[in-house]
Amino acid sequence: GQQVMQIPQYQHVQEGEDFTTYCNSSTTLSNIQWYKQRPGGHPVFLIQLVKSGEVKKQKRLTFQFGEAKKNSSLHITATQTTDVGTYFCAGGGPRAGGYQKVTFGTGTKLQVIP
């Protein structure tokens, strides 16, 4: 079945440094979503990319969907302590009527050192 891996599993950065997490799927995806889970909290949707090679920005966050629609990345510029949390990608797979299978990646836990 579809597998979605993320690297790195953990990342510690000094506040102000940049951070990037990479997401790789074993199969071609129809779309990719990104979620953030704060410590002790639940995942919250950040963004969805649909088109091959698509790039979207949200303030200091830049999201990219690969040309082959099998990989994606999230880049945070000048991290802040509010960026702490675990970032998950989620790949959209086959569609059956009103349901589309979404496979969550393994997640990257970001720690920002003040």
Partner 1 sequence: SQTIHQWPATLVQPVGSPLSLECTVEGTSNPNLYWYRQAAGRGLQLLFYSVGIGQISSEVPQNLSASRPQDRQFILSSKKLLLSDSGFYLCAWSSKLGTSGSLAKNIQYFGAGTRLSVL
Q: How far is the CB of 78 from partner 1 (least distance, A)?
A: 26
Of residues 19, 25, 29, 33, which one binds partner 1 by CB under 8 A? 33
Decide if residue 42 touches partner 1 (CB under 8 A).
yes
Q: What is the DSSP string of 40-77?
A: TS--EEEEEE-STT-EEEETTEEEEE-TTSSEEEEEES
**Nearer Cβ to partner 1 (33/64):** 33
Decide if residue 31 touches partner 1 (CB under 8 A).
yes
- What does DSSP say about strands 108-113 and 99-104: parallel, antiparallel, or unpaired? unpaired
Burial of 62: CB neighbours in 10 Å, binned 0-12, 13-18, 19+: middle
Distance CA(76)–CA(83), nearest Å, equals: 9
Decide if residue 90 touches partner 1 (CB under 8 A).
yes
**Nearer Cβ to partner 1 (8/16):** 8
Q: How far is the CB of 20 from partner 1 (least distance, A)?
A: 19
Distance CA(99)–CA(23), nearest Å, equals: 23
Decide if residue 11 touches partner 1 (CB under 8 A).
no
Interacting residues with partner 1 (CB under 8 A) = 31, 33, 35, 41-45, 48, 88, 90, 92, 95, 97-100, 102-107, 109
